[in-house]
Amino acid sequence: MNTFKSTLLLVLLTVFLILIGDRFGGRSGMVIAFALSVVFNFVTYFFSDKLALRMYNAQPVTREQLPRAYAAVERLTAKQGLPMPRIYVLPTESPNAFATGRNPQHASVAVTHGILQLLDDEELEGVLAHELGHVRNRDILTSSIAATLAGAITMVARMGYWASLFGGGGGGRDRRGGGGLSGLLMIIVAPIAASLIQLWISRTREFEADATGAATTGNPYALARALQKLEDYSKRIPMQASPSNAHLFIVAPLLGSGGIGNLFSTHPPMKERIQRLIGRDYV
């Protein structure tokens, strides 16, 4: 299913770029857009994980530098039959973590400096088991592609908006048909479409990774405690993150304050996640 989702997202990216190319450049725009889609798909498949890690200045660490995390990951990968992923640390005090990579053989797990200071050994192991759950469930490629697709949609929407303002697009069709209005609609609607893509990908995968992590450690209470701490402290020390890849993290850095904002939250409510782990919504 996750392989199907990844393929579908790449197809959507190709179709989206071709349609935008036709809208603003006619036949020649479609050709350029198709060439761009090939490049986007190649980069997305092979380099989306590296782009995410670089965006947050993630630094690789060795076993000697971070023996606590390495020991936990080695135990967990042995239980799940997974290869050892690369481990990174993000230089921020906001507590969070994410996994990325196109398959288990090319996976990376990143934790922030803040999460290492906040959680005890059992809680940290629960978080790492959750992230390795994403690896085992093979949804890390899907989430990485969703991040790239969301970013591409937003970028192209802005390019189309500015092109319409300056008279670009299809031999004058925009000027006769209200190009400025269509560009404005695109810059409003396209980010919403990107959010819906992330929403489709993220909510179920978090529940699945929670369940996989708890089953691997045999200690759902440790993961529940970690989630509750992360929820509390991430609000005290908010993390600066891009909306296009906020869904990669175990706790969404950009949370709605309620109401309509929750419609575009890429993560389920934390109380619901804890409820599913231990049968109540608090530890």
Q: Pick out the residues of the known binding site.
A: 130, 134, 206
Phi, psi torsion values for 159, nearest 5 degrees: -60, -45
Catalytic residue among 131, 208, 231, 272: 131
Catalytic residue at 123? no
The residues near 276 (Cβ < 8 Å, ≥ 6 apart) are 207, 210, 211
CB 247, CB 147: distance < 8 Å: yes
Phi, psi torsion values for 192, nearest 5 degrees: -65, -40
Can you tell me whether residue 78 is helix, strand or coil?
helix
Of 91, 201, 80, the residue nearest 131 (C-alpha): 80
Helix (H) or strand (E) holding 283: none
SS3 content of the chain, % helix, strand, coil (to 5): 70, 5, 25
Pairing between β-strand 108-112 and β-strand 86-90 as defined by DSSP bridges: parallel
Of 99, 94, 197, the residue nearest 148 (C-alpha): 197
Residue entry with tokens 């092979």: 46
Whole-number Å distance between alpha carbons of 7 and 21: 21
Can you tell me whether residue 235 is helix, strand or coil?
helix
Between the alpha carbon of residue 230 and those of residues 131, 142, 233, 245, 246, the distances in Å are 14, 24, 5, 18, 15
- Residue 97 forms beta bridges with which residues? 111
User: Catalytic site residues?
Assistant: 131
